[in-house]
A and B are shown apart, each in its own frame.
Chain A
Amino acid sequence: MVKKLFIVGLILLIPGIWTLFQALSIGPASWALDQSLFWGTPIVNFVFWIGLAHAGTFLSAILLILEVRFQKRISLVAELSTIAAILVASIFPLIHLGIVSRFYFLIPFFNERNIFANFSSPLIWDFVAIFVYLCISIFYIVTHLLSLKHASLLKTGKVLAWILFPLVLWVHTIVSLDFAVTTNNLWQGAYFPIYFILGALFSGLALVVFLLEVQKRRVRKIEELLIAASWLLFVFWIWEFFQKGVWHFEVVFFGFVIVQLLWIPVLRNQKTIRLFVSFAALVSMWLERYVLIVPSDLEWLPVDYGWFALGIGLFLSVFFGLYLLIQKYNPIVFYVSAEESNEKYSKKVLWGILAGAVVFALLYFALNYPLDTSVPLMNWIPVLFPLFSLFAGLSFFALGVYSVVPKKQFFLVSGLLVLILGGAFGAFYAGGDTNLGVESKIISVERVSKNNRPVKDLWASRCASCHGLKGEGNRKFIYEFYPEIQDLTLERLNSQGEDSLTQVVLKGRAFMNPFEGRVSESEARALIRYMYQLAEEKE
């Protein structure tokens, strides 16, 4: 079954990769959008998949903290589904971008040009939170796998679970804020974070029911949780109806009515019914996000359908690929868990790392805050906890792994990772080349302008190189190569007359060059008058 699903995933990836290719080469025009609807199916899929990821964390980390018994039986499946779902989810916002290669503009990190991401935007909070969430989830599952051999890592796993618990609520709250902070009336409401978290939990439970079924296992508690979640969501749907007049029958039908089938023991004990209910719940949750994000009816393009192939194909192949990989090296891992261990971190280490994390998070603000004082301090808070988690999670993980893995291997791998990450950050810090866009224009030669240029400037640029700024003559040049120029006196100017001097400027005389075409006639006259002025000043 597992292998079959892996193959199905790979097969689905073929249209999936085609979709990806289409979307990247054509851009956002390849899926259904218009000039008033800017967010389409990729965002729907993003919210859907990130919701599935959260449920995995809930079922592994949160139940571990709460010391729920059935947690042990499903934890690894849930953790794997988290990793696979985050990977799928993080693809969609990237594709969604108009210019994908500029995704790094969203990293709130020092930048050579001193431009900083806008902390008023929930997308920045999103980026940080999801990045940290992915990191900690990977730490968590690696710790879990290592703890099967080294029981001392169980304490690290527990600490990471404590970090993940608030983080997962934090992440989905931020995802809901992407909508709740906008001016769109349908997306506003203080209940949005809870509504979103519940939706995530609901769809995630449904996914875990399916994944357990694949292993030919069943956890009754989860089915009960599914029913409970459907009732809670139903309350929200009624609330939305009274608040905003929003009612979507298909969402309620799939997400509430069908789930109630699980009340009946005869039906509940049938595998097909359980699978049907879990699919119905997933469909309803997808539809719920769709009707929320895409209120108007748009004609779907092939790429819109292709997201399903991409999402499901990638999820199945990553999930079952990892599953097979783990099973190959450690076949019993999915059925047993490590021995209980009551080991705990010494208080010194615990508080040391947590204090370090606080300092790290605050230092980040201290370094970055003055760059943009127009953003209120409140807007920085959403990334506070993710930053704290990143530091704390990384420290605990490194500490735990360091204690069980050969030193040489540890330093080799961590050194390599630091190099790669450092290189990536260096590249983001430097930014891309300046895009010259349309062929740059040729710097032109100055032409006679329609308006009269300021005469002082004109004298400085056109006459001063020989005649000097004050008409005294440029000694360094003239006296070496050209015959000495006449002294500038009013008497001499008067003897020539304004008209004939203007002609001299335009037509040239002896060593004087013609300036016709470079100086207009009225400008030439103005220059002569300026000479009178200079002569007066001299006397």
Chain B
Amino acid sequence: MKKGVFFLLFVFMLALIFADIFFSPSLASNTKKTSIPFLHALHGDSIGLSCEACHSGAYTNREAFMPSKSDCMDCHRLPLTESEGIASLDSALKNASEHPFQTKNRLPAHVVFHHGVHAKANVSCEECHSNELAWDRGTPPLLLMNECLACHQGKRGFEASATDCASCHR
């Protein structure tokens, strides 16, 4: 009898844990899938483009911005390579909406992050956005506050910066 009770308890706890996993909101899948395959590696240094070329606010603005379709078409009006995938890319671009890349801001509403200020302080984009493959897949890694703090406290080779709460939180 005693064993039975413990078994029931165990099952109950397991059920609770599973229920919690199923019903809690997931942090992933914040990015809407687009039909356009994109590789950061092909668009970066190899063809002499800075991040700013597509993310037009990256060095000057609070938000980095996503490119619109016309931003893509600036270059992609001409067939750019002879590789096989180009035909499907062209058709995907042709059918895309005006704003094909829609990423939800994963920064909570009570945090303010200004890309421009960090660029001004010579922090390169890669300091935070290093895992470009993950970005290509549409599953950007979650940046936690302690990583912000490591830099701001001067532990990562940058000059120590503001660590009072009110400079980033509102």
Seen from chain A, the residues whose Cβ lies within 8 Å of a Cβ on chain B are 112-114, 433-438, 440-446, 453-454, 457, 460-462, 464-466, 474-477, 480-482, 511, 513-514, 517-518
Contact = CB atoms under 8 A, between A and B. Distances in A.
A464 B53 contact: yes
Interface residues of B, number: 45
Contacts, number: 110
A453 B61 CA distance: 10
B60 A461 contact: yes
Given A436-B109, A445-B65, A461 B102 contact: no
Nearest to A512: B74
A440 B140 CA distance: 15
A259 B78 CA distance: 98
Given A437-B109, A475-B48, A477-B49, A442 B104 contact: yes
A440 B104 contact: yes
Contact of A446 (B30, B57, B73, B106): B57
B170 interface: no
B27 interface: yes
B17 interface: no
A434 B99 contact: no
B109 A438 contact: yes
Interface of B: 27, 30, 46-50, 52-53, 56-61, 63-68, 70-71, 73-75, 77-78, 80, 99, 102-110, 142, 144-146, 149, 153
Secondary structure type dominating chain A contacts: loop
A109 to B, nearest CB: 15
Contacts of A112: 144, 146
20 contacts: A112-B146, A114-B153, A434-B108, A434-B145, A436-B109, A437-B110, A440-B105, A443-B105, A444-B66, A454-B60, A461-B59, A461-B60, A464-B50, A465-B53, A466-B75, A481-B75, A513-B73, A514-B70, A517-B70, A518-B71
A464 B145 CA distance: 34
B105 A441 contact: yes
Secondary structure type dominating chain B contacts: loop
A435 to B, nearest CB: 7
Contacts of A476: 46-48
Which of B66, B71, B99 has the most chain A CB atoms closer than 10 A to its own CB? B71
Contacts of B105: 440-443
A437 B25 CA distance: 11
Given A436-B109, A466-B74, A474-B47, 19 more contacts: A436-B106, A440-B30, A440-B105, A442-B103, A443-B64, A443-B66, A444-B63, A444-B66, A445-B99, A446-B65, A460-B52, A461-B52, A461-B58, A477-B48, A513-B74, A513-B77, A514-B70, A517-B70, A518-B68
5 closest Cβ pairs, A-B complex: A476-B48, A465-B53, A461-B56, A446-B65, A461-B52
A377 B49 CA distance: 54
Nearest to A482: B78
Contacts of B71: 518
B108 A436 contact: yes
